Structures are given as structure tokens and as C-alpha cells.
Structure 1
Amino acid sequence: MNGALPPATEKITEAIIGAAFEVSRLMGHGFLEAVYRRPLGHELGLCGLKWREEVAYHLAYKGNPVGTYVADLLVEDTVIVELKAVDALNPQHTGQVLNYLKAADLTVGLLLNFGKPRLEVKRVLR
């Protein structure tokens, strides 16, 4: 992928980011990441977006189960959203989202970090 998203996916990611900024504005920073999941889902619903939380992706190697990835949110069956509440995002967080995208056979994810006074957003493309 060359970094450009299809217009419908771009619209979804923009709505997710806007919803996350609203949650950050109202709740502040520093809670555990799980605390932000439901308020973000509420905001996504207000935007008219369908979402599911803690979506499991089962991994297999040569037909044998080897593990499960659990994504924080899946929005419109298109965008994986991973929530963090850390001092700073790092390459391991990006790798985690890339693995979720691979397991789900999706191309775009968002890392949202509520651990700083200003929400940190990182778009991850596979």
C-alpha cells in the first residue's frame, strides 16, 4: 500500500481519531487503557460507526493452533484500534498492530495513546 487509503477508510479513520480526541478531552490522560475502550466505543456509536471490542484472531501454523491475538477494537470490520496508556509509543507497539493486521488480513490500524496530556495517534499500514 502506498500510504493512501481508500476514501471510505480515510473517513472511518478520521472519525475514530476525532472520537478519541473527544474521549481524551473529557477523561484526561493516565487511566489504564481498558478504561478508555467503552467511552471510545460510545463516541464511535455517536458517529454512526459499528464497532466491536476485544476481537480475537486465532493463529495457526500448518493447521495447528499456536495462539490468539485480541485487538482492543475493530471498527466497521476495517480498522483495528489498539489503545495504550504509556509514556510514549515504541516500535513494539507498532509491531503489535502490524501482527493484528496480518492475523486479521486487514491493511490499516490506529494506535491511540491516552498516557500523555495530549492524545498520541499513530496510523499503521500493512
Structure 2
Amino acid sequence: MTVHKTLGNGFQEVIYQRALEIEMREAGISFNREFEMPIFYRKQQIGDRRVDFLVEGIISVELKAVTKLEDVHFAQAINYLEAYNLEIGLLINFGEMSLNFKRLTNKKFKSEQLQKSNKS
């Protein structure tokens, strides 16, 4: 919220990424910016994708700077959660007059404990 209040809307996504990086560092939040993660299909790596931020190793944060969030933005954010088996994600849009953010949940999430018990 501080980033949007300070910068407003109208900048490119990378500007908001850099500002959010500063805010998270100041707050002592553990994160990786543009964290590259492999994409698998049938247990074979077919590419990779960078999530804007991986926070505390468990939360995907995808930033946008568009006038309005579209279904494709939600689909992309959900795909990242599923591909990386992350439970929670945030989709944040700095491009609107007011900051727009959505908390997303991966309905296909499998906890490590559940994965271990399924392997037994």
C-alpha cells in the first residue's frame, strides 16, 4: 500500500517491483525477487518461469501494472501456484487508481506431509 500511495499508478511493472523490494527489505521480510522455478510436464522439465516475488519461501507474489485485471492475469497467478505447489499467492495490480490486490489459494495444494504419506 505504501508503494502505491507513494508512486501512484502509471509506471511500468519493474518500477513497482523495485519499490516493493525496498519496502520488504526495510520490513525485514525474507523474499526472492524474480525467483526462477522450473515447469514440469509428465516429470520432464519443459521450461521455467520467474515469479515476481517468492516471499518467505511459501507465498507467490505476482505484480501487474495494468488498467484492469483480466481473467488471464488470475489464470497466470493460479498456474504458478499449481506449478510450484504453493498454497497462497497474491496478485497485486498497481495500474489502477486504487491499489487492487487479490489473495489466491491453490485448491490443488499438497502439503509436504501429505506428499510424504502418499509415498508411503
Deviation at 1:45, TM superposition (A): 1.6
Please, what is the CA RMSD of the aligned residues?
1.1
CA distance in 2, matches of 1:64, 1:80: 23
Once residues 89 and 35 of structure 2 are traced to their aligned partners in structure 1, the CA distance between those partners, rounded to angstroms, is 13
State the SS of the aligned residue for 1:66: strand
Aligned residues: 106
Separation in structure 2 between the aligned mates of residue 64 and residue 122 of structure 1, nearest angstrom: 31
User: Residue 74 of structure 1 aligns with which residue?
Assistant: 54
Amino acid paired to 1:62: R
- Residues 65 and 94 of structure 2 are in contact (CA less than 8 Å); yes or no, is this contact kept in structure 1? yes
State the Cα distance separating 1:61 from its structure 2 match.
2.0
Taking the aligned partners of 1:88 and 1:119, their CA distance within structure 2 comes to: 11
Identity %: 38
Task: Give the counterpart of 1:115 among 88, 95, 99.
Answer: 95
Q: 1:42 Cα deviation (Å)? A: 1.0
The structure with the largest alpha-carbon Rg is: 2
Equivalent position SS for 1:69: strand
**Rounded Cα–Cα distance in structure 1 between residues aligned with 2:59 and 2:43:** 26
Structure 1 position 33 matched with structure 2 position 47: no
**Residue equivalent to 1:95:** 75
Under a length normalisation based on structure 1, what TM-score does the superposition of the two structures give? 0.79
State how far apart, in whole Å, the 2-side matches of 1:123 and 1:61 are.
26
TM-score (norm 2): 0.83
Deviation of the 1:65 alpha carbon: 2.2
Higher relative contact order (CA 8 A, sep 6+): 1
Gapped regions of structure 2 (runs ≥ 5):
107-120
What is the alpha-carbon distance in structure 2 between the residues aligned to residue 89 and residue 78 of structure 1? Answer: 23
What residue in structure 1 maps to residue 86 of structure 2? 106
The secondary structure found in structure 2 opposite 1:111 is strand
Deviations 1:96-122 (A, max 9, x none): 111111121111110110101211111
Q: Give the gaps of 5 or more residues in structure 1.
A: 1-20
Q: Which residue of 2 aligns with 1:10?
A: none
